[in-house]
């Protein structure tokens, strides 16, 4: 496992699209006094958290293990898959973020854009290797995508100056 400084540099300097540099920041912390070394992770746009997850924060508001599993959700800790439910409730921690980065860093951009792990797909949407033509071609697919993914898609399209169909109609 790489150190956070290495991962952050790769995400913000090597992979991030030039149009988003200086706007997107990745944030991860581990609570050193926690016996299990739990923590939180976030993606910020112009200083505002667009996506965040924490072992201690929103996880308690998501319900008990039984309630979460009954709704078809899971807690994405210790590198588990991050799905729509975990993004909505913020029930992922820094280890899920690290796991998503490892998957993203070790596969092609095409594989990352089709990943079941939504954090991997978000990293791919913000990646410089995902160009304007590919973003434009993804517009129909994004209409049915989970809300968090659509948010990052919209941020990226705005940064690239791409007009989305719904915006062109209005």
Instruction: Round the average pLDDT of the chain to a whole number and report it.
Output: 83
DSSP 63: -
How confident is residue 164, by pLDDT bands cut at 50, 70 and 90? confident
How many Å apart are CA 93 and CA 8, to the nearest integer? 16
Delimit the domains of the chain by residue range: 4-162
Q: What is the pLDDT of residues 2-60, one digit of tens each?
A: 788 999 999 999 999 999 999 999 999 888 787 777 788 899 999 999 998 886 655 45
Alpha carbons 8 and 55: distance in angstroms, whole number: 20
Closest CA to 160 of 137, 119, 128, 123: 128
Cβ neighbours for 38, distance < 8 A, ≥ 6 positions apart: 30, 31, 55, 56, 77, 93, 94
Mean pLDDT of 150-158: 96
pTM score of the predicted model:
0.83
Rounded Cα distance, 103 and 97, in Å? 10
pLDDT of amino acid 169: 47
pLDDT at position 83, please?
67
Q: Which residue has the higher pLDDT, 169 or 98?
A: 98
């Amino acid at each position: 496992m790489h150190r956070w400084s290495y991962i952050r540099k790769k995400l913000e300097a090597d992979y991030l699209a030039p149009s988003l540099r200086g706007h997107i920041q990745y944030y991860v912390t581990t609570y050193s006094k926690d016996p299990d070394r739990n923590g939180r992770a976030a993606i910020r746009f112009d200083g505002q958290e667009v996506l965040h997850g924490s072992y201690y924060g929103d996880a308690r508001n998501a319900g008990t293990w039984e309630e979460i599993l009954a709704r078809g959700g899971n807690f994405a800790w210790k590198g588990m898959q991050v799905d729509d439910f975990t993004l909505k409730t913020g029930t992922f921690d820094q280890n899920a973020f690290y796991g998503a980065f490892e998957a993203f860093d070790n596969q092609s951009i095409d594989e990352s854009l089709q990943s079941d792990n939504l954090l991997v797909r978000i990293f791919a949407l913000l990646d410089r290797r995902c160009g304007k033509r590919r973003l434009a071609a993804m517009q129909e697919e994004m209409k049915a995508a989970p809300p968090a993914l659509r948010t990052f898609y919209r941020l990226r399209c705005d940064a690239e100056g791409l007009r989305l169909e719904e915006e062109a109609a209005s």
